Amino acid sequence: MSQMLNTEDFQALTVTESEDRLHARLNRPEVRNAIDAAMIGELHAVCEHLETAPKILILSGTEAAGKGIFASGADIGQLLQRRRDDALRGINSAAFDRIAKLPMPVIAAVDGYALGGGAELAWAADFRLATPRVKVGQPETGLGIIPAAGALWRLKELAGESVAKELLFAGRILSAEEALQHGLVSAIHEPEDLLTAADELADRIAAQDPLAVQVSKRVFAMPREAHPHVDNLAQAILFESQAKVERMQAFLDRKKTKEKND
């Protein structure tokens, strides 16, 4: 059994872990899961663990007073105190970029508000599942700043330039249905079914060859000019893997058995 992450000192995240996945729940409901320095530090700890022990990451929020909360944004009290040098350190952007580059896929199970930095955390995931009560947007320009933790470039890639500009320049907030329509989430589930759906997606990923998934994620992120050369190199690595031999032989054996029984 692989070594599990030590979360004894965690305060902002609640973590559960198994052999093939880690579930990190944002757990500051008293401030609507505002992303503060402590949460960022704990997200870095999660990333450090998953970089050395690759597993699927599921990110979710909490529920308070009968309402779902993914993350209402960055902690405004802390943002107010930050200055130029803090911005240049990329406090949130470094953590979110690290999450996006984790070896195995990341699933964001989004319920309720995902605003500002909370939305940017969701954009960093490979998959976003939503509930009907999701509200997502980037209100930063209304506070005199920009969304500097990924939205200014990820949103254009995810939803297209027109929708991205409405969220970024005009403060538009999208409903779950609108987010689905624009490809910002891949499915909508009732709140009580959200984490089950996230685990079912994780099950489908876990059924694949882990090395093939990791290589696919890396190659997918490569710039257009790197293809097809990087694809060929990646395939050359996988063609030599034992898992490729075993999985293909198992496929042929099943096919042969089926043909014999038909």
Both tokens assigned to 78: 């802390």
Of 51, 140, 192, 240, which one is the catalytic site residue?
Answer: 140
User: Which residue type sits at 125?
Assistant: A
CA 20/CA 244 separation, integer angstroms = 19
Identify whether 51 is a catalytic site residue.
no
Identify whether 190 is a catalytic site residue.
no
Query: What distances in angstroms separate CA 186 from CA 177, 189, 218, 241, one per listed residue?
Result: 10, 10, 21, 32
Of 51, 120, 161, 200, which one is the catalytic site residue?
Answer: 120
Torsion sign (Cα): 110, 115, 121, 126: positive
Query: What distances in angstroms separate CA 60 from CA 113, 164, 203, one per listed residue?
Result: 12, 23, 17
CA atoms within 13 A on the CB side of 182: 22
Q: Which residues are catalytic?
A: 120, 140
